[in-house]
Structure 1
Amino acid sequence: MNMALNFDWLTNLLAILFVVACLYDARYDEYGTLTLSAAVMGLVVMAIEVFLKPAFDMSL
């Protein structure tokens, strides 16, 4: 159960994806859609970690 509530690996993966999206967008995409989508995914993961993890911890 502790492994399922560990968001560190997902946060690191999204940080790498964000850097790759920034590099791709700087070269090929004029609107920055990949950078924006990677940033939104990072915010969603952080929101899940902040709001849902304490509820899981209290239930254990």
Structure 2
Amino acid sequence: MLLALNFDWLTNLLAILFVVACLYDARYDEYGTLTLAAAAMGLIVMAIEVLLRPAFEMSL
């Protein structure tokens, strides 16, 4: 239950993924689609964390 409410590990994982995607895109991809996808996933996870964490905490 504690792991489900703790989004810090997922945010850190997405930050590492974003850095790897930036390095890959800088070398191989001309359009930066991987970087945009990693950034979008990071924003979605942060939004979920901000919006859903208070609901989980109130339900406990």
Judge same fold: TM > 0.5, yes or no: yes
Mapped to 2, the partners of 1:55 and 1:8 lie a distance apart of 17
TM-score, length-scaled by structure 2: 0.96
What is the number of equivalent residue pairs in this alignment?
60
Report the aligned-residue RMSD: 0.6
Cα distance, 1:37 vs. partner? 0.2
Offset from partner CA, 1:20-57 (integer Å, 9 cap, x none): 00000000001000000000000000000000110010
Which stretches of structure 1, 4 residues or more, deviate above 4 A after TM superposition?
Answer: none
SS at match of 1:4: helix
**Would you tell me which structure has more helix in proportion to its own residues?**
2
Share of identical aligned residues, percent? 87
TM-score, length-scaled by structure 1: 0.96
Matched to 1:31, the amino acid is Y
1:45-60 matches, cutoff 5 A? 45-60=45-60
Offset from partner CA, 1:3-26 (integer Å, 9 cap, x none): 211001100000000000000000
* Residue 42 of structure 1: aligned partner: 42
* Residue 32 of structure 2: aligned partner: 32
